[in-house]
Structure 1
Amino acid sequence: MSTTQNERLRELLEPLVTSQGLELEEIEVASVGRKRVLRVVVDSDEGADLDVIADVSRALSAKLDEPGGNAAMGEGEYELEVGTPGAERPLSEHRHYVRATDRLVKFTLTSENGDSELVARILKVDDDGLDLEVPGVKGRKATARRLDFTDIAKARVQVEFNRKNKNDENDDNDAQEEEA
């Protein structure tokens, strides 16, 4: 039975990543000049801070340096990079959409007339699709919209510099109540 290098690496590294409370999102082996780079992307519902990433990186490095561990990478030097998906991550799995609840997302939709785009905030995720809030344009109120997963060709979280957290909204409400 033949397996790819990525499959061998995933089989070797995934138990270590999950033991740290994270999920292994992606593995990529790339050539950069004369060097090879092993990029490992990890994430969790709560996110991953730098200390956890550093712990995972040390554990993966130790495992790959064990006798037999390097067989998954083959002979020769390589560089290990461990990180998270980033702010504008593409959403491809159900758990990605759940993690993006309350975030603004740019959707590329599939339709019989070609692709169209939609930017909306994810309010709720279930097994079939998403409940969204489409921001109003030019002073209009936001509107609700339902989107099935089958209607989504691509989705990517958008960076928001002025995004209000739920805690900020609660703080605002508390401040207004104190003023009254």
Structure 2
Amino acid sequence: MKNIVIILGHPDAAGGHYCHAVAEAYRVAAAQAGHMITVLDVARSEVTFLRTKEEWESNTVPDYVRDAQTAIKDADHIVMIYPLWMGDVPALLKAWIEQVFRKGFAFEMDGQNWHGALKGKSARVIVTMGMPGFFYRWFFFAHSLRSLDRNILKFCGIRPVRWSIVGNVEDPSGKVQKKFLETAGLLGSKGM
């Protein structure tokens, strides 16, 4: 059994969005399979934005940062779920990542060299979007997802990083949404 942290990156704290349903489907199935689950809801974290190098390098961090770092440190597997907004992660999630994945926690520097401090963890990134997923992957080359994968998660030592790109989430028939909720449950039960 795995210790799994779900990072719910939808910026609307009111809930009720497809990302919330995906996170819940994953959480329920994972818990039923015996995995330990922690959910970090970015929208409820009172996220603050970093504005200076001094803030970035400070050891004084908000409580939500310390709590998130503890949950991530204890996790075997990280699941990040967010909607594609303007071709990227929502700004609130990006600010949260900048706060949480700091030097000294997520990576270390030895002079000019760096090394990831989160080795031994795996990740699944689930991105939802209105456009067809293949269009994002093949026309836009999944550019923002590739950046998150390479420049943040793998930079911090997290491997493997797997993706689930869920397009057409506004399908009025509900078929796309229902199908991926089943997939999210399957992924949760397997801890993937």
Q: TM-score, normalised by structure 1?
A: 0.24
Identify the structure with the greater helix proportion. 2
Identify the structure with the greater strand proportion. 1
Larger Rg, first or second structure (1 or 2): 1
